[in-house]
Amino acid sequence: MEVGDRLKIHAYKHDGQIYRTWDNTVLLEINDDYIVLGNNRAKVTEENGRTWYTREPAVIYFYNNRWFNVIGQLKQKGLFYYCNIASPYIIENNIIKYIDYDLDLRVFPNNSFKVLDEAEYELHYDEMEYTKDIDSVVKYELDKLIKMVKNNEEPFSNITIESYYQKYLKEIKKKGWQNIQKNILYWM
């Protein structure tokens, strides 16, 4: 893999069922700790077959050894983050794969945040028989993520996300991918 490659993303649940996929995601950086991707108007397919398209550009971090991923969403009202508590990723056949553990953290432009989907986590904890070890890791990683937000640690930085967004624009222009360049929101 190299910068500029197009990848897909597949999110699974603990029971092994795929529940959501994204297409047209462009690799922007790869290093020993994480990868960074960008997309805009990515087609999303739900487990029931319903499809929809993302509404704004996004910069996405997947970590090798952290149990979360971070999506910087470049909306007209500012930079929002959607953070999934999830297993570290793997890549197979140009598809990024991870297990989603339900809990999410929504971070707003003013740096306030809200933990989401706690009831879903409790339901799946019982239904999918999460182990106590998984429960401990999930809660530890959520706490780590909240501390990162409070301390303005990377990737929670407008400058960093804007830099990757500009790199995304250059990559799609260089590759001539006009179909994924349409409707790009120039947010800053």
Q: What is the mean pLDDT of residues 27-48?
A: 96
User: Has residue 183 been placed in a domain?
Assistant: no
- For residue 188, is it within any domain? no
Q: What is the pLDDT of residues 54-84, one digit of tens each?
A: 999 999 999 999 999 999 999 999 999 999 9
Residue 187 within a domain:
no
44, part of any domain: yes
Could you tell me the pTM of the whole model? 0.92
Q: 97 in a domain, yes or no?
A: yes
User: How many structural domains comprise the chain?
Assistant: 1
If phi > 0 it is left, if psi is from -120 to 50 it is alpha, else beta; for residue 49 that is left
Residue 16 has pLDDT above 70, yes or no: yes
The pLDDT of residue 185 is 46
Instruction: Supply the CATH number for residue 36's domain.
Output: 2.40.380.10
Range of the structural domain that residue 129 is part of: 6-177
The answer on pLDDT for 150 being more than 70 is: yes
For residue 1, being part of any structural domain is answered with: no
> Among this protein's residues, is 50 annotated catalytic?
no
Q: How far apart are CA 104 and CA 64, in angstroms?
A: 18
| 20, 41, 55, 106: the active-site residue | 20
What pLDDT, on a 0 to 100 scale, did the predictor assign at position 179?
54
Please, what is the Cα angle at 151 between 142 and 59, to 5 degrees?
70
